[in-house]
Amino acid sequence: MKKIFFVILFFTTVLTFSQGQLNREVDSLKGLLKKEVQDEKRIFLLYTLATKLMRSDTIISTNYALEALNLSKKIGYKEGEIDVLEFFSRKFTEQGRLDTALQILNTILQQEDQIENKQRVANLYISKGNIYDIKSDYTRALDAYLKGEEYFLQANNDRGVGMANLGIGNIYHATERWDQALDRYRKSAKFLQKINDPYASWPINNMATSMQNIGQLDSAEYYFQISLKMKEDAGDIYGASYTYSDMAELYVLMNQIDLAEKYLKKALELKLQVEGISQETIGMALIRLGEIQIKRGKFIESIPNLRMGLEKAEESASVEAIMFGNKHLSNALYKIGNYKEAYEKLFMFSSLQDSISKVKSSQALAEMQTKYETKEKDEQLQSANRANELNKLRAYKAEADSERKNTLIYGALALVLLLLLGVGFAIRSIQLRKRNNEILRSKNKEITIQKEIVEEKNKEITDSITYAKRIQSAILPSDNLIKRSLPNSFVLYKPKDIVAGDFYWMEMGKSIAQEQENVLIAAADCTGHGVPGAMVSVVCNNSLNRSVREFGLTDPGKILDKTRELVVKEFEKSQEEVKDGMDIAVVSIEQQQGEGASSKSISCSKLKYAGANNPLWVIRKDSNEIEEFKADKQPIGKFSHSKPFVTHELTLNSGDTFYIFSDGYVDQFGGDKGKKFKASNLKTLLLDIQNLEMSTQKEQLDQVFEEWKGENEQLDDVCFIGVRI
């Protein structure tokens, strides 16, 4: 990140202020351009307009720059030509065309001796250092920055010295030489604060980052706060956004994840206000926000941010951002059970990771630093004893001539030796690169084969599960049976996967006392979902059927007692302890037909209910309240404190409605804040739709559920039954 900071910093003459201010400046320059006829002044106006519009209107900016370049060549104005070429090097740098930008700078610096303004030469070296810094060629970057600093010191340019030291500090930071980085950042801040330059906030910001890396977290927080205040006071939106990002990283290390998320959201908000900010920058901020939300357990909330961040990264072709976006998105998808897509993202991350390598050159940097420190000391010594040195040179001139000849001979031999070594190293490097490419191709082929095998296995598994769905569907009561027995009712059934752990159940049980059939209906939720839940549901469904058909039970409490007994007995056959079971609400409806022999409606009913963790909700006709009959807090399955299930009895009149359901509806995450739907919202919804037909209620419940879920994954199976008397 700090590589980009420095490039934008040094090339930006003003901080990121409002678009309105920029427009006023551009309009003023255009007005002067219409009046100005002198060639050199016209070139200056064209160059300034090109610089102002470089990020906001690239086409017009380029046209102004080309006009300035052509006019400079036409009148032989060398200074103007260099200005425009330097502009294009900046433009290509920000576009990522680094080799082209570097070629332009090298072309200009070939005439270094002919450029009278040495501060201009210093700027060119700083620009060159920036490009090498971005390319991670730290040895050449340091060389360029040190030359730039040397020219700025000769010119007594405090700002130039400060900015050069910021670049040098960044090189030491990148190569993890923290003490030297801190020394250079302090020197940079000192020179910039001396002239009240607002960019002094940047070396202070980077000081904090270096302190963070050596474990001085409290000091890092202190300097981050100073840097942030300076940026906000200066109206530097761009700079403040990055300091907020850095502070988010710090708070992650301090295990203050809530603060980290807060600061990263603020950083993202500011970045979106910056004109012309790169898609890569926005993408990395979104990916980092998603990563922090994963740390906080906000898996569903993280996924939209990670998807959007990955999209931005792909638009900018940032390999590093794409790699980490796939890594964190794979993690989030795995956490919510989307294993197929999680595998695909993990495969992409692995492929990119294997293709990326970064080589650091700390040893070369140390040699370069020694070279320039020695040179600095030699120059100081020569300055102090110049007269004495001249006398010595005259006295030993003959000896020096002889030594010079020997040096030339030895130097030539050394050069030949170095060339031979260089050729040897080049050949070795080509061989290693070829071998590494072969290994990479082999590994990619192996991964592709493994992917195909996994996909084939997934197809086989999916086909098996689809067949299992047909089997599970066969044990569910048909729509015709439900409508015939309970014409004014609905069943909303939404499995999370192909097969489900939730199921609904219906039987006709004959009452011995009254010698008539009762309708028994239930909404059940077995442990888990998908294949494991479906397997448990088959055992539980069979036990419910046996309780009624084989043992002749119609009382819901007694049905649940017997079902529990049968389920536990079935699971005890296994050699391993099985703790799976079922939550359920069972209702028995003793029907009393309305007037007329052909009537299909129920005018009045005696209801019996028993529940294992799942309640019964009743809404009376013309009432604005929900009566809740609570379930026993125990499952159908092995339980340490099991007791007989309680049967609740009540009478419902025509127009009254009751509901039984599993917990999949209320536990679904979604909405604007990615929270659970909750029972309170469900109660409000049911009261709002109470006057609608039951079929319309089903549609409304389904629509609200889908809108709440949005792009989030469905977390659990949904089974929801409503019956109106």
Q: Is residue 316 very low, low, confident or very high in pLDDT (cuts 50, 70, 90)?
A: confident
Q: What is the pLDDT of residue 350?
A: 77
Categorize the per-residue pLDDT at 412 as very low, low, confident or very high, splitting at 50, 70 and 90. low
Report whether pLDDT(24) > 50.
Answer: yes
Rounded to whole angstroms, the Cα distance separating 611 from 629 reads 9
683 sits in which H/E element: helix 679-688
Domain at 9-116: CATH code: 1.25.40
On the question of pLDDT at 647 being above 90, the answer is yes
Q: Which of 47-61, 305-319, 702-716 has the lowest mean pLDDT?
A: 47-61
- Tell me the pLDDT tens digit for each residue of 540-577: 999 999 999 999 999 999 999 999 999 998 888 765 55
SS3 assignment for 464-514: HHHHHHHHHHHHCCCHHHHHHHCCCEEEEEECCCCCCCEEEEEEEEEECCC
Q: What is the pLDDT of residue 384?
A: 45
**Helix, strand, or coil here: 637?**
strand
Question: CB-based contacts of 395: which residues, under 8 Å, 6+ apart?
Answer: none
Name the residue with higher pLDDT: 422 or 469.
469
Say whether 644 sits in a helix, a strand or coil.
Answer: coil
* 477-724 CATH fold: Phosphatase 2c; domain 1 (3.60.40)
Q: What is the pLDDT of residues 459-478, one digit of tens each?
A: 666 666 766 677 777 789 98
Alpha-carbon gap, residue 179 to 581, rounded angstroms = 62
Residue with the larger pLDDT of the pair 347 and 307: 307
Beta-strand pair 502-511/516-526 = antiparallel
**The pLDDT of residue 370:** 40
What percentage of residues in the chain have a pLDDT greater than 70?
77
pLDDT digits (tens, 9 = 90+) for 185-201: 999 999 999 999 988 99
Q: Which tokens in the block code for residue 557?
A: 């409490």
Q: What is the pLDDT at residue 522? A: 97
- 516 falls in which pLDDT band (50, 70, 90)? low
Of residues 95 and 102, which shows the higher confidence score? Answer: 102
Please compute the mean of the pLDDT values over residues 598-605 and round it to a whole number. 56
Give the DSSP per-residue string, 307-369. HHHHHHHHHHT-HHHHHHHHHHHHHHHHHTT-HHHHHHHHHHHHHHHHH------HHHHHHHH
Give me 159's structure tokens: 């700002």
| pLDDT exceeds 50 at position 325 | yes
Q: Which amino acid is at 193?
A: Q
Q: Which residue has the higher pLDDT, 81 or 530?
A: 81
Largest CA distance in the chain: 137
Residue 142 pLDDT grade (very low, low, confident, very high; cuts 50, 70, 90): very high
Architecture of domain 272-357: Alpha Horseshoe (1.25)
Residue 653 confidence class, pLDDT cut points 50, 70, 90:
very high
More reliable by pLDDT, 129 or 456: 129
CA distance 719 to 131: 61
pLDDT at position 456 over 50 = yes
Equal CATH topology for 272-357 and 477-724: no
For the chain, give the mean pLDDT.
Answer: 81
CA distance 446 to 442: 6
pLDDT score at 246:
93
Distance from C-alpha of 569 to C-alpha of 566, rounded to nearest angstrom = 5
Q: Among 90-104, 220-234, 398-412, 508-522, name the most confident range.
A: 220-234
Please state the rounded mean pLDDT for residues 274-289. Answer: 84
Tokens of 101: 């930008």
Q: Which two tokens stand for residue 419?
A: 């060339």
The residue extents of the domains of the chain are 9-116, 272-357, 400-475, 477-724
Residue 10 pLDDT exceeds 60: no
CA–chain centroid gap for 383, Å, is 57
Most confident listed range (77-86, 203-212, 530-539, 563-572):
203-212
Residue 452: per-residue pLDDT: 60
